[in-house]
Amino acid sequence: MAITLLVASSDEHFRELVRDNLLNMQNAKVVAEYPDVSGNLYIRVLQDLERHPEAAMFFDLASDPDGGLKTLERVKQAAPDMYVVASNYAGDGESVLAAVRAGANDYLVQPVKRIEFRDAITRLEHAPRRAAAAGASKLGKVFTFLGAKGGVGTTTLAVNFAGVLAQRKQRTVLLDLDWSANDCAMQLGAAPQYTLHEVGENLTRLDQALFEGFVTRDPLGFFLVGPPDSLDQRAYFSEPMFREFSTFLIEKYDSVVIDAGRSLTDEVTLGALHSSSTIFLVVDQQFPSIRNAQRYLAALVRLGFSQDQLKVLVNRYQKRGSPDYATLEQIQQTLNQKVFYGIPPSPHVLNSINRARPFVADRQSAPELDRAFRTFVDRATGVKKDEAAPAAKAS
Ligand SMILES: Nc1ncnc2c1ncn2[C@@H]1O[C@H](COP(=O)(O)OP(=O)(O)OP(=O)(O)O)[C@@H](O)[C@H]1O
Ligand SMILES: [Mg+2]
């Protein structure tokens, strides 16, 4: 049986020790490491369990035993079915008992000997385990739109996705992380006075009232927060800030929709990808975007994302035969992955951008586009799971 592990330890040597010990074990790997063992760890753990419901955890208590036990307790409350191996230098009964009471299933005394580690893995393998129920948490879902190329429609799809969720009474935040474009505000006709810059400055005292008081509320009902319009303030929002902010968002809102632009190198974007429940990789039918999608998918899989979390969207999808455009079969063959959905082209898209309102705000103008888009949202949120996508049907 394959073993997937999450490792919580602020000590680099401990994390390395786990990795080293796994080297000669087939089918065992670390899928996430948490150097920051603090109160909100359970959020990241829950998100990773959505991707790896079978995962077990190594939890190092050595650097801060009291704080660590509290964090472990919260993690176990959030994920009671996850198997946890706690570890510390102290091997006395009291220490072991405290770890067990916090929810540990097993305990390893440090320094950990190779044979002891192997025995712990054997016990873990034989322990009856129920997979953590995916999607069972009450935390908000993060839907991230990532463009495989510029101009494929990433912003348009993110904006309208947030619009439909808000129309469905989901508490939704649209987060624009495309720092150089800031196009979400443009597409919504908004000129936000407060931006991620202010979010960063106010993180320590951020609560829902403060947040909603200073960010923009779209008439459809979702909140918009994005980069400052001037390009030189980028440095004021770091990846640790994003982590704290995203924790706030997924605790307080049903859905967070992110326009990630197309950067895979920006540290905040990477943080966003890591906090995502679903990543929509947006392509069109032109060969450069398909080729880039191939590179993006490979990189994302290397970063630990599972294929079912990465959904390929073909925007402006047409079942046309032209040497200049890839067919659905070609796309799926090149990407070695099913296309999740195809959004049809419509002149109404540009029209609605020019009017600075999402096309989903006006259901009558382009009913076909509207219907297709809503079916996409249904499938993405699991409303009509079994319905085949128009794009997939076209094959
Ligand atoms: N389904 C569609 N049908 C017709 N036109 C579309 C469609 N989707 C997007 N477009 C058009 O494509 C253009 C680019 O859209 P958008 O700005 O959303 O793309 P993007 O990938 O976010 O671009 P950028 O790389 O600049 O961030 C817009 O003019 C928009 O009107
Ligand atoms: Mg864009």
Lowest-pLDDT range of 48-52, 150-154, 230-234: 230-234
Predicted pLDDT of residue 43: 83
**What percent of the chain stands above pLDDT 90?**
71
Name the pLDDT band for 158 (thresholds 50, 70, 90): very high
Name the pLDDT band for 307 (thresholds 50, 70, 90): confident
pLDDT tens for residues 243-262? 889 989 998 999 999 999 99
**What percent of the chain stands above pLDDT 70?**
93
240 CA distance to ligand 2 middle (Å): 24
Atom of ligand 1 nearest to the CA of 282: 21
pLDDT tens for residues 160-216? 999 999 999 999 999 999 988 889 999 999 999 999 999 999 999 999 999 999 999
Q: Residue 22 and residue 330: Cα distance in Å, rounded?
A: 38
144 CA distance to ligand 1 middle (Å): 16
Ligand nearest to the CA of 262: 1
Q: Which of 76, 109, 89, 62 is nearest to 6 (CA)?
A: 76
Indicate yes or no: pTM above 0.85: no
Contact yes or no for 328/342 (Cβ under 8 A): yes
394 CA distance to ligand 2 middle (Å): 27
Predicted pLDDT of residue 232: 73
Q: Which of 299, 240, 308 is nearest to 264 (CA)?
A: 299
Radius of gyration of the chain (CA): 23
Residue 376 scores a pLDDT above 50 = yes
Ligand 1: residues within 6 Å at CB?
A: 147, 150-156, 178, 181, 183, 261, 315-316, 343, 345-346, 349-350, 353
Predicted pLDDT of residue 394: 37
pLDDT tens for residues 268-300? 998 898 888 899 999 999 999 999 999 999 998
Tell me the domains of the chain and their CATH numbers: 3-126 (3.40.50.2300), 141-394 (3.40.50.300)
For 167, the 3-state DSSP assignment is: helix
The DSSP H or E segment spanning 95 is helix 93-102
Using CA positions, which residue lies closest to atom 29 of ligand 1?
350
Name the residue of 258, 349, 373 whose CB sits within 8 Å of the most ligand 1 atoms, as the mutation to test its pocket.
Answer: 349
Q: Residue 7 and residue 338: Cα distance in Å, rounded?
A: 32
154 CA distance to ligand 2 middle (Å): 5
Name the pLDDT band for 130 (thresholds 50, 70, 90): low
Residue 10 scores a pLDDT above 60 = yes
The DSSP-derived string for 190-257 is: ---SS-HHHHHHTGGG--HHHHHHHSEE-TTS-EEE---SSGGGGGGS-HHHHHHHHHHHHHH-SEEE
Using CA positions, which residue lies closest to atom 12 of ligand 1?
153
Give me the phi and psi of 381, to 5 degrees please: -100, 5
Predicted pLDDT of residue 154: 98
CA-based end-to-end distance of the chain: 35
More confident of the two residues 233 and 211: 211
Name the pLDDT band for 306 (thresholds 50, 70, 90): confident
For 82, the 3-state DSSP assignment is: coil
The DSSP H or E segment spanning 88 is strand 84-88
325 CA distance to ligand 1 middle (Å): 17
Using CA positions, which residue lies closest to atom 19 of ligand 1?
153
